[in-house]
Amino acid sequence: MKKIMILSALISLTACSSGKNDNSPTQVGMANPASVYCAKLGGKLDIVNTNDGQVGYCTFPSGEKIEEWSLYRRDHK
Whether 55 is covered by a domain: the verdict is yes
Rg of the chain over Cα atoms, rounded to whole angstroms, equals 27
Whether 4 is covered by a domain: the verdict is no
Residue range(s) defining the domain that contains residue 58: 31-77
**Pick from 15, 17, 32: nearest CA to 72:** 32
| pLDDT tens, position by position, 59-69 | 999 999 999 99
Lowest mean pLDDT among 13-17, 53-57, 63-67: 13-17
What confidence category does residue 41 fall into, taking pLDDT thresholds of 50, 70 and 90? very high
Whether 21 is covered by a domain: the verdict is no
| pLDDT tens, position by position, 23-39 | 777 777 889 999 999 99
Whether 42 is covered by a domain: the verdict is yes
Whether 64 is covered by a domain: the verdict is yes
Whether 23 is covered by a domain: the verdict is no
Q: The whole model's pTM is what?
A: 0.61
Whether 37 is covered by a domain: the verdict is yes
Whether 58 is covered by a domain: the verdict is yes
Dihedral through CA 51, CA 77, CA 33, CA 50, nearest 10?
-10
Structural domains in the chain (count): 1
